[in-house]
Amino acid sequence: MLHSSRPAGGLCALGRHKSRPIKQRLVAVAYTSGQAKQDPALVLQQQQQQAPASQHGVLAAAERLDLDEVWVPYRWPGQLGGEDVYISGSWCEWKERHVSLRHCSASASYPGDWVALFKMKTGQHEYKFNVDGGWRVAPGDPLVMDPEGNINNKRLCVKNCHIEFCFKSNSPVARSPRTVISVIGSWSNWRIATPLQKEGSNKWFTELSLPPGEYSFRFMVGDSTDLHPVMAVSDKYERQEVVNRDGQRVMCNKIRVDVAPAFYLFYATGWRQCTLMYKMLKDGNPLTAAWQVAAMDDSPSRAEPCGENSRWKQAIIALPAGVDASDRDRYSMQFFIQGPRLGDSSDEDNAGGSRDSSRRRSSVRANNGNGNGAQQSAEDAAAARWFAPLPDDGVPGDLRSQVKVDTPDKQSTSACYQLRWPGGWKLQRGTITKFPCVTKPPVLLCADIDGTMVNEHSDKKEQFWMDARTKEFQEYWESNAALARSVLVFNTGRSKGQLIWLLKEKPMLAVPDVLITAVGTKIWYLPDGMRCFQDPTEVEWIEDKLWSNRLDEGWDLQQALSAAGEMFKLFNRDSAERVKWLDKGQEHPHRVALQVHTAVLDDLIERLQEAIDKRQLQARIIMSGAGDWRYVDVVHRLAGKLEALEWVRQVYGVPVERCATAGDSCNDILMLDGKMPAIVVGNAQEELVRWYHEQNDHGRIVLTDKPEAAGVLEGLARHGLY
């Protein structure tokens, strides 16, 4: 049970007066995307349908959670668009329109997310979102590819967040049978409340399944007829002030949620399909006599850990329901891996490598189905029959005459592999190693490319070592960070086409999930589900149209060109050329780019700002670069490298403290100079190093000893994000 160790206390309601009855001291405050506002229509989500909890208002008596039930929030990022969004999954056999998502209010900077929260059975569930009639996967949620080639989101739903609320024992509110309490928090964008059920005379509680991270929340206290319940915090949990979008400080409780307790196993193999056979043990004693079966899905990684065409498979085995945190380490697991049938010509792979001539990434199913395997072909059906049934009293030796199995070598004292406690683990080439980073929230890394991730040198020996550093990062990212659902973003001056060319020329370069170009005026994503399972040079990147559309408002390219054109008349009056065109908006319509000599730089920026103001353009000036010639960009006031990165961060839902930026030149100050942990690589330009030493950043920025991609790895380690 995750809660603060502070002693339980009473109600601390905001905006109340003790002498007034509860019906007269209601505070009409609700939250939409963190913003305090009058909102009597706030809905209490109580069942697997979105409907008001009562006919009278937002509070109603809570139905009880069974031992195997939990409240689970789901989110579709508003940045990805949609007018009609619903979710369906394996828990309802992919029933059409199982739960419609509610749209949160948009702000001036961000479109509102779509959220749902409903009660469901504990366990692992695959799901997809239907957005305006098309099936999509959420990029910030775990991705898997099943044996039929369907790419789905998949989540382990267990009770990893226990929230309770207590009154003092003599409180008349606690004794009232009409008192109803719910909790609302940042896990649903402050949009959907979760009911608490009563336990004893003065205690209410609920159980949620949340991704790991830190959350803010408040309680709603009233009775079943209240339209505007009291918004309250509890003495039981830590408190923090949250600044809402109106700039108001609001007191909330906060809670840190750890990863769901389970065995997280990643298996390096050449088999295209395989099955995990396991037994759970408590204090060394098996909980079941029979071997249990679990599917192994393709993981979100491009790595080939055992040679060409090998891959990382993954399986998650949850602990039994109701296990207390203090008892988790009493559980262990025995397992082996069951592979294809012996002699089956349809799979010549083996556990350690591959002799398969077809590439794994070419087997991805078109991502337009709902993920339930309804499109399964005859070939897929044959593949599903690879696995032999295991007798209840069977042992691995019983199977060797029927199927391939992966068990410890003959020198091992055990016939099965063993995981000694719950957590993250890897099995590679017969060796089990701990993998703790999978039990932490994912990381988002936003890096420059040239000079940071790759570099060019005329000396072949130097070039070899530069490429080796790039390869070292790729191997780390794909076999570690990607397995833990981390996100790689390239923030570059290169165009999309130039990046695709670079990926072909430099196969040792890690493939990004997101590309930010043109000083933050363009954002590109790989298509849904293809980030991990398909060669990025063979698919078309998708432009973030919502990002582009928001830059249209108040932007006039012709007026921007006119303002920039005046600079040529002012500063190129004699034969000396001090201003040059770089981009007149043909390639990037929300950007006008100049190259300016430092001799006139300050004066030009002042005159350019005057020209922009005169035309009442919604624009800003960004200066970057090094040397005698600098880059001067005129872009929409909402655009920029850091602004685009913040937009992407919101899409993936990664906390600021789990995001990092990395660069090597003054161009990168635009993203290094934010609130996120930052990395200046060891080969950085002198001007950037000088800027670094001028920053009073309290350790937020690190200057690494190692250059280029090796410096990025060093910086991640020093920030605790490795």
More confident: 330 or 1: 330
**Among 7, 321, 322, which Cα is nearest to 164's?**
7
Label residue 244 by pLDDT band (50, 70, 90): low
pLDDT in tens, 298-312: 888 888 898 888 999
User: Percent of the chain beyond pLDDT 90?
Assistant: 44
pLDDT of residue 384: 38
pLDDT in tens, 653-676: 899 999 999 999 888 998 999 899
The CA-to-CA distance between both ends of the chain, in Å, stands at: 28
Residue 247 pLDDT exceeds 80 = no
User: 335 to each of 129, 392, 407, how far by Cα in Å?
Assistant: 34, 14, 8
pLDDT in tens, 427-453: 999 999 999 999 888 999 999 999 999
Tokens representing residue 1 in the block: 């049970």
Contact 78, 115 (CB under 8 A): no
- Average pLDDT of the residues of the chain: 80
Residue 611 pLDDT exceeds 80 = yes
pLDDT of residue 412: 61
pLDDT in tens, 46-58: 322 333 333 223 4
Residue 13 pLDDT exceeds 80 = no
pLDDT in tens, 451-501: 999 988 888 898 999 999 999 999 999 999 999 999 999 998 788 888 889
pLDDT of residue 33: 31
pLDDT in tens, 519-555: 899 999 987 656 566 666 666 788 999 999 889 888 9
Tokens representing residue 244 in the block: 């809402």
Of 33-42, 471-480, 681-690, which gets the smallest average pLDDT? Answer: 33-42
Helix boundaries (H) for 572-664: 601-614, 641-652
Residue 36 pLDDT exceeds 50 = no
Contact 132, 145 (CB under 8 A): no
Q: Which amino acid is at 311?
A: R
User: 189 to each of 27, 73, 252, 526, how far by Cα in Å?
Assistant: 20, 10, 14, 26
**Among 267, 687, 161, which Cα is nearest to 483's?**
267
Report the pLDDT averaged over residues 635-653.
92
Label residue 363 by pLDDT band (50, 70, 90): very low
User: 630 to each of 455, 456, 581, 603, 640, how far by Cα in Å?
Assistant: 21, 22, 12, 13, 17
Q: Count of CB atoms within 10 A of residue 6's CB? A: 12
Contact 4, 164 (CB under 8 A): no
The beta-strand segments (E) located in 284-367 are 285-286, 292-295, 297-298, 311-318, 331-341
The dihedral built from the CA positions of residue 267, 271, 274 and 276, taken in this order, carries a sign that is negative
Of 244-258, 277-291, 349-363, 683-697, which gets the smallest average pLDDT? Answer: 349-363
Residue 357 pLDDT exceeds 90 = no
The DSSP secondary structure of 345-393, one letter per residue, reads TT----SS-----S-GGGGPPPTTS-SSSTT--HHHHHHHTTSPP--TT
User: Percent of the chain beyond pLDDT 70?
Assistant: 78
The angle at the Cα of 348, spanning 345 to 352, to the nearest 5 degrees, equals 160
Report the pLDDT averaged over residues 36-55.
31
More confident: 138 or 34: 138
Residue 12 pLDDT exceeds 60 = no
